[in-house]
Copies of this chain bind each other. A is one copy, B any other.
């Protein structure tokens, strides 16, 4: 592998481990073993464990908004139907892993937000993009008349993402789709009207 490929490979492997276990509980040695790379290679690409964590956040960044863009670009259905299917896609993903894992950004916000200012700032950027993507979808829905002209797009997008993150935590405890189903029912049945 070239240097860029090695770095990408380490991040891919690490993203999965950190998603499962959290950042503090993930050891560099474990990442090296899983990725099959020597220690020197890791420290060539990452100055420290903190630097590695921040670059991991960059790696996660854009995943949520990228998937949402793709969902909205689909040919069929209204904007709000596409947004609903986007969230259902995640529900199907979580069903496939026993409702564990949660959102890597929400997990790191909970774990690191109070502990590390550099993490907090980076998470703020990534979270802002998730909210921005949902706000853009709602704005599109508003412009085609699926939502009232005076619908509070930005606030509602923020509430939706926050509530989504809460449902993902709850799901780790219920181990079923109920929190995500309830999220869908109330957001689409009561809020997006």
Contacts and interface: CB of A to CB of B under 8 A. Distances in A.
A134 to B, nearest CB: 13
Nearest to A168: B166
A182 B158 contact: yes
A146 to B, nearest CB: 17
A187 to B, nearest CB: 9
Contacts of A169: 106, 109-110, 113, 162, 165-166, 169
A33 interface: no
A133 B183 CA distance: 20
Total identical chains: 2
Contact of A113 (B109, B173, B186, B191): B173
Interface in A1-50: 20-22, 24-25
Given A111-B111, A166-B163, A123 B173 contact: yes
Interface string A110-133: 110111000010011001000000
